[in-house]
């Protein structure tokens, strides 16, 4: 298991990224890097959530997470007091954030700003791409890390609009809200197809799984946006906002709706992952390249894919027999 409290740091993957063929941005890992489970999209009573920030933090802290970003609509919740209450043992971190909630006509354009230093007001703009770009820029100016949320919510952001956005590395490949149209339909592509389209066009984007949790007082109801549905596992040197966010922006994380990995390595030659199996589950591990093509499917792990140099990019996903998934981040291979 990759749980940081149960895994010796020395056993975690150590990857040298000096490859000639594989560009992994500035991704580097050190002996001290550990895996931290977190959710980067959460609401409280400070916007349309049903619970106080304190109650929300308690839920995540008591369900095996190590960090949480509070992202109310156009509201920056103060987290110093929460961290003083919940992080005395340095085992849990609350990061401040905001869901910058903008629109273009009837379309809902939501961009998270993680660890912004001040409230960012919705910026508006003259097209969908312009609104997104102006908000991404404003989040960067406030020293925050942007991520573009639920593109298919109200069918608001097309793949070509998403592809154009500059200075943004992250978008939601999975969001636990029940009305975000993850699978697409009616001729609109699902988000994995959108991701492969954008990656195939040469734009590097990393995929996040998030809860977008609003409702903590109706547990188990699939019709509400409850917690615990999608999260990220981030490989960072320490449990600190800037270390976590820098790791995410270099793609050093994976996203999950339940699948946990015990090992994950990318070297200049290959990508390898090992699933931490649960007793009765079976798995398919797919390595995907340009155009969304499945390059290789493994039925057991460790699963390895050796790069040929012609893939454009390689990403992996794990499909579990009850519908859980995990998504690795793409490595550019050329
Ligand atoms: Zn939203
Ligand atoms: Zn939200």
Cα angle value 276/280/281 (rounded, 5°): 55
Which pLDDT belongs to residue 85? Answer: 81
CA distance 111 to 113: 7
Cis peptide before 187 (omega within 30 of 0): no
**Torsion of the alpha carbons at 87, 92, 96 and 101, rounded to the nearest 10:** -140
Which pLDDT belongs to residue 90? Answer: 66
What's the gap in Å between 304 CA and the centre of ligand 1? Answer: 36
Q: In which residue ranges of the chain is pLDDT below 50?
A: 1-21, 25-26, 28-30
Which pLDDT belongs to residue 4? Answer: 40
What's the gap in Å between 110 CA and the centre of ligand 1? Answer: 5
What's the gap in Å between 193 CA and the centre of ligand 2? Answer: 22
What's the gap in Å between 212 CA and the centre of ligand 1? Answer: 7
For 126, residues 6+ apart whose C-beta sits below 8 A from its C-beta are: none
What's the gap in Å between 73 CA and the centre of ligand 2? Answer: 7
Which pLDDT belongs to residue 79? Answer: 94
Q: 226-265: per-residue pLDDT in tens?
A: 999 999 999 999 999 999 999 999 999 999 999 999 999 9
What's the gap in Å between 205 CA and the centre of ligand 1? Answer: 19
For residue 262, the number of C-alpha atoms closer than 13 Å in the C-beta half-sphere is 13
What's the gap in Å between 114 CA and the centre of ligand 2? Answer: 13
């Amino acid at each position: 298991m990759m749980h940081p409290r149960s895994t010796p740091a020395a056993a975690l993957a150590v990857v040298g990224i000096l490859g000639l063929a594989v560009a992994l941005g500035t991704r580097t890992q050190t002996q001290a890097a550990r895996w931290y489970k977190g959710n980067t999209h959460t609401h409280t009573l400070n916007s349309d959530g049903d619970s106080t920030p304190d109650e929300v933090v308690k839920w995540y802290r008591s369900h095996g997470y190590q960090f949480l970003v509070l992202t109310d609509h156009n509201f920056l919740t103060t987290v110093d007091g929460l961290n003083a209450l919940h992080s005395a043992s340095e085992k849990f971190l609350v990061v401040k954030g905001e869901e910058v909630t903008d629109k273009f006509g009837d379309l809902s354009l939501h961009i998270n700003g993680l660890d912004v230093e001040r409230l960012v007001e919705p910026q508006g703009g003259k097209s969908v791409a312009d609104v997104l770009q102006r908000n991404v820029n404003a989040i960067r100016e406030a020293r925050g890390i942007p991520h573009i949320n639920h593109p298919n919510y109200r069918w608001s952001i097309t793949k070509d609009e998403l592809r154009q956005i500059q200075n943004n590395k992250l978008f939601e490949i999975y969001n636990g809200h029940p009305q975000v149209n993850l699978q697409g339909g009616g001729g609109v592509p699902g988000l994995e197809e959108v991701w492969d389209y954008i990656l195939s066009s040469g734009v590097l984007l990393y995929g996040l799984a998030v809860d977008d949790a609003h409702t903590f007082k109706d547990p188990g109801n699939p019709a509400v946006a409850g917690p615990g549905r999608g999260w990220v596992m981030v490989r960072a040197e320490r449990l600190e906002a800037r270390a976590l966010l820098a790791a995410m922006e270099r793609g050093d994380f994976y996203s999950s709706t339940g699948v946990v990995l015990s090992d994950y390595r990318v070297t200049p030659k290959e990508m390898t992952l090992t699933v931490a199996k649960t007793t009765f589950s079976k798995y398919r591990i797919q390595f995907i390249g340009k155009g969304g093509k499945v390059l290789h499917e493994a039925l057991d792990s460790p699963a390895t894919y050796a790069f040929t140099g012609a893939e454009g990019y390689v990403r992996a996903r794990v499909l579990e027999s009850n519908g859980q998934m995990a998504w690795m981040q793409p490595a550019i291979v050329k």
